Structure 1
């Protein structure tokens, strides 16, 4: 008889399971796709959409999902978004497993900051890529804690029960005007300059990551998307697709098709993840009603330890004000002139960007690359109050509209 006692069975850890998929499409208007997305199991160090990656049991390192919408003209936007997903994944994969939820959230913020600094540095080294940048909306998950780090206007939604809630806030001019009560949501849908964003990774050497949190419940569905989807498909239609289509692969396809049918004016990217398992509590009525955008405050010591600015080889200055960049939806400047009329105006904004973002002076006439139709325009706002920036932009739009009216009469 074996004298060694059998080891008692270890209790099974409650599981959080997710089924997911991601899809990106060039759309109907753009010539190339500047969007990127990431889906990764950090515990298995597995990244991609192989069949085994579409079903995950959340391990000790968690899971990572993200969408990045690049900008910058030519191939620069694609480079920026690819750099972002690569660096964020590398940073989130480095080191040992996070010891707690705060550490996971701090790593997410630090990874996004590091991606922004790297893109900014690459743009300084290569003049043809100056001004490139990308939005970044990234979700990191550990057990029932979902953290979202956002820069720009790509979105995250949660469907819980029959209720769809946007759990991020667009860092955009149009959203700022809505929150200030100067624009209604109905007016925002047709607002001429609803493609102006307040910050992006790579357009400055530091960013302010908006960190938010969702306590997941069993049956929740997460959707991340670029504005090529959210700008073309109404929230009610998104809700209905996520509610009625159970398979994430099919849901991504249907949503992409809907955006293309609505015009496909921009690149379209979507990631859908559905959560289940006994590691998640069932959603009560109050959980559905209280679901909302919720900021997450990290402890000060973690912010200091994980800040990119704390790395000795880095040079990061604090931003006084957010800077504004723009991704025009068609080959026109932000004031509506055609490519052939952009010379003097483009020079002016290029010089403004150079003053803000580069420490060394460059000869602009020799250094500036040819202007591309979708090159972002940086507007200097350092030291100016937010209301003044909004007033300046709205006034400029009004003046151009009036001038255009009289010229075309």
Structure 2
């Protein structure tokens, strides 16, 4: 009997132990197979505005039937991976377009309002369907995948420290002491256009996906994240434990987690 994959998801956001406001935002849109997380910046609540604008714009873009123009789901070049991947193959351009639309709206809003000048946000987005995921991101919010107890980072930080490592000016083990490690090199809303980094991957039963802001990834070691993801079953509990661990480690920033888990299910095709 053919087995199909279904998913479940949970998310949580917390201001942390130092910040008075929470500039992170997230959304779990299970019917769409869409998961979004944004980490705002800008102060005076402008970061909160930017992150929420990013999430709302991408969500509304997928909910608007007119948003499929000019790249309609179900129309376009044939996939290279067979019919199973058609949704994510053709949904990925929509995801990128939605993120670029959010960038333009945030950029325009910041130019109109003096108090919001310089506001921006990261974004990490995952579109899931039929055993595949499309990942799109800008900034240093991350997407991890836990498979067979091995944690893999599916995104590449758009940060100054990562760029220094890539160019050979800094060793990876020196990253934690780098004085400008929180400076990002790419964000939504800071420029009129933005380059969105993307990838498509296959999903297997038992895979766990984690979208998180740097309030988690910059505070909790990867081995601790992997351990929490691997040793607990309740997704809401996993998200809460991750936030708790970040806060136990000082909670210097807002911390947000979205956890998604796939399992094999016998039966016919599902929407997930």
Same fold, TM-score > 0.5, yes or no: yes
1:144-183 map, 5 Å: 144-183=131-170
2:93 is the counterpart of 1:118: no
In the alignment, what sits opposite 2:120?
133
User: Structure 1: where are the runs of 5+ without partners?
Assistant: 1-11, 43-61, 281-409
Q: Which has the larger strand fraction?
A: 2
Partners of 1:222 and 1:230 lie apart in 2 by: 14
1:11-41 alpha-carbon deviations (Å, 9 max, x no partner):
x996431111100000011110000011002
CA shift digits 1:359-389 (9 cap, x unpaired): xxxxxxxxxxxxxxxxxxxxxxxxxxxxxxx
Q: How does 1:332-347 map to 2 (within 5 A)?
A: none
Aligned residues: 250
Query: Residues 44 and 115 of structure 2 are in contact (CA less than 8 Å); yes or no, is this contact kept in structure 1?
Result: no
1:321-359 alpha-carbon deviations (Å, 9 max, x no partner): xxxxxxxxxxxxxxxxxxxxxxxxxxxxxxxxxxxxxxx
The equivalences for 1:200-279 within 5 A come to 200-278=187-265
Where does structure 2 lack aligned partners over 5 or more consecutive residues?
A: 75-85, 268-272
1:98 maps to 2:73: yes
Residues 13 and 81 of structure 1, relative CA distance in 2, 3 Å threshold: farther
Higher RCO, 1 vs 2 (CA within 8 Å, ≥6 residues apart):
2
Equivalent position of 1:373 in the other structure: none
Root mean square deviation, CA, Å: 1.8
Could you tell me whether the CA contact under 8 Å between 1:143 and 1:279 is conserved in 2? no
For 1:106 and 1:278, locate their aligned partners in 2 and report how far apart those are by CA, in whole Å: 29
Aligned to 1:84: 54
Q: 1:69 aligns with which of 39, 62, 77?
A: 39
CA distance in 2, matches of 1:251, 1:201: 29
Deviations 1:123-150 (A, max 9, x none): 1111111111000000011111101111
| Rg comparison, structure with higher value | 1
Deviation at 1:277, TM superposition (A): 2.4
Q: 2:5 aligns with which of 13, 16, 32?
A: 16
| Structure 2 residue aligned with 1:38 | 27
CA offset at residue 273 of structure 1? 0.6
